[in-house]
Amino acid sequence: MKRTSKWFALFFLGFAFWGVGCDNVETDWTPPPPPDQIWSVTGDHTVYLFWQPVQAPDLEGYRVYRSTSLYGYYDYIGFTEVPAFVDEGLANGVTYYYSVSSVDVHGNESQPSEWIVMDTPRPEGRNALIWSLAFHPDAAGFDLNTQRVVSVTDPSLDFYFTESYGGEPELVAGPYDLIQDVGYVDDLDEIDVAPLDGWDPDSRVRAWPGHAYVILTEDNHFAKIRIRELSEQFILFDWAFQVDPGNPELGIQSPQFTERR
């Protein structure tokens, strides 16, 4: 009985020592820092999200969450290894709220990002064409709401292309719409948020290739266009129209639309 007890005791002590040795491999329970400075780019049925990379040696990636209410429940919608995410298949005119967390290789997840970004997708189009009033008046106007080429006499007209009395090409807003030239841009996406003032008092502006223009429609919708090509007979342009009434968000997320938790 004594021998048996002795060997049992030695076995037990050896097992315990082996277990202590295994514990020398420390388990990491510390999550990485949460992402910071989230911003977005507004697309057509799409929102593009970006944020500052998290500095953590064991970082695996990021988890993205979305809600239709700032203080509502945020659903997990995807994982990405890079500080960017594309959320597609969204409804235009609906505002979405996003939060992002970071995850390490041990499965530790950070707190949600302090910053929550909101974005409202809207329709857009490229290479639309309208004719000049003198050349083809039945196709010189454009209705941004329905994305149609219309006559200058159409009640839904938002703007049309014509020439001034001095022969200069002009864009003229519809009877109750407002318009302004916001200058030359390389791409329509450079126009992020529509200005709330600065509208041309005559609702007509000089047409320049490469220039972007912001329009406020009669029924309180903001839109932007950029002239790609201009001739005496027609203009070729890109456009984007915010279907959410009164929402000036047209492109890259402005800091004024970013909310803190």
Asked if residue 8 belongs to a domain, the reply is no
Mean pLDDT, residues 133-157: 95
Same domain, 70 and 142: no
> Does residue 207 contact residue 160 with C-beta atoms inside 8 Å?
no
pLDDT digit string (tens) for 175-197? Answer: 999 999 999 999 998 888 888 89
Q: Is the pLDDT of residue 13 over 60?
A: no
Residue 11 lies in a domain: no
List Cβ neighbours of 184 (8 Å cut-off, separation of 6 or more): 208, 210, 211, 212
**Is 21 domain-assigned?**
no
Residue with tokens 């083809």, as numbered in its chain? 136
Give yes or no for a contact between 179 and 144, defined as CB atoms under 8 angstroms apart: no
Q: Please list, in sequence order, all residues whose beta carbon lies within 8 angstroms of the beta carbon of residue 192, skipping any fewer than 6 positions away.
A: 249, 250, 251, 252, 253, 254
Evaluate the CA torsion angle 87, 90, 95, 96 in order and state its sign: negative
26 is a domain residue: no
Q: Sheet harboring 211-216: ordered strands across? A: 124-131, 234-241, 222-230, 211-216, 178-184
- Shared domain for 95 and 142, answered yes or no, is no
In the prediction, which pLDDT does 7 show? 37
Query: Residue 14: pLDDT above 50?
Result: no
- Residues 81 and 150 both lie in one domain: no
Same domain, 164 and 226: yes
**pLDDT tens per residue, range 31-53:** 999 998 898 888 899 999 999 99
Is 101 domain-assigned?
yes
Q: What is the pLDDT of residues 205-250, one digit of tens each?
A: 999 999 999 999 999 999 999 999 999 999 999 999 999 999 887 7
Domain that holds residue 187: 124-241
Q: Quote the pLDDT of residue 69.
A: 93
Does 13 reside within a domain? no
Instruction: Dig out the tokens for 212 from the structure.
Output: 């972007």
Q: Is 219 left (phi over 0), alpha (psi -120 to 50) or beta?
A: alpha
Do 176 and 69 share a structural domain? no
133 and 229 fall within a common domain: yes
Per the domain annotation, does 69 fall within a domain? yes
Same domain, 134 and 232: yes
Lowest-confidence region among 12-26, 50-64, 79-93: 12-26
CA dihedral 158, 164, 168, 172 (to 10 degrees): -10
What sign has the CA pseudo-torsion 225, 228, 230, 236? Answer: negative
What are the structure tokens assigned to 49, written together?
């999200």
Domain identity same for 65 and 170: no
* Count of structural domains within the chain: 2
Indicate whether 186 and 213 sit together in one domain: yes
Picking from 95-99, 118-122, 168-172, which range would have the lowest pLDDT averaged per residue? 118-122
Tokens of 55: 């500095």
